[in-house]
Amino acid sequence: MLALTLPLVLASASPRRRELLHQLGLPFSCVVSGADEHIPPCAPEEMVRRLAKAKAFAALPLLKKPSLVIGADTIVVQDGEILGKPADEADAKAMLSRLQGRTHTVLTGVCVLNSESGDYLVDYERTEVTFAEMTGEDIDAYVATGEPMDKAGAYGIQGRCAVHISGISGCYFNVVGLPLHKLSTMLKHFAKPGKEQST
């Protein structure tokens, strides 16, 4: 297990990111920064990097002590268009109709910030996700569960939509919302020299 130089803080309200971060076996606390997510138009890869950095830095006023802050942002991209969280059920159905039977890209930006020194790393992970074909009845039934409404692209791969996912290429955890291998690699930059232990 990594021996970090400072306490770890996750700048996110996402229960899925909290569950994933627990898998690293590191103690952490959470803050919700309320970062401004409106940024100038740019490539999707750059967008998730900027948003992850914005979320990490927005958490600084909320910290009670020097910490390592994790900011993350996940988006779904289809045909070059970013699909965010659906506005309503009709929007969710429209998104799922676009995704079904096709392959799309999921990008998650990750930023790790040392609040004491200002040192930070920012990167992103990419995963390709393929949906099986879904009937209109399939889409209606899934949307009726309410699960799509707070998720980018209107689906959760770890939930009831799992039966409609025919394959992925890349990091599964990235699609859930936090690429664990990428994050653990970034955290090593902030570990105490010679203090890493095997789990």
pLDDT (average), residues 156-163: 93
Residue 1's pLDDT band, with cuts at 50, 70 and 90, is low
Per DSSP, the residues of the chain read ---BSS-EEEE---HHHHHHHHTTT--EEEE------------HHHHHHHHHHHHHHHTGGG-SS--EEEEEEEEEEETTEEE-S-SSHHHHHHHHHHHTTSEEEEEEEEEEEETTT--EEEEEEEEEEEEPP--HHHHHHHHHTSGGGGSGGG--TTTGGGGGEEEEES-HHHHHT--HHHHHHHHGGGBPTT-----
Candidate CATH numbers 3.10.105.10, 3.90.950.10, 3.40.50.720, 3.40.1000.10; the one for domain 8-190:
3.90.950.10
% of the chain surpassing 90 pLDDT: 79
Which are the catalytic amino acids? 73
Q: Looking at residue 194, what is its pLDDT? A: 56
Segment 10-65, tens digit of pLDDT? 999 888 899 999 998 889 999 987 777 777 788 999 999 999 999 999 999 999 99
Q: Would you list the domain boundaries of the chain? A: 8-190
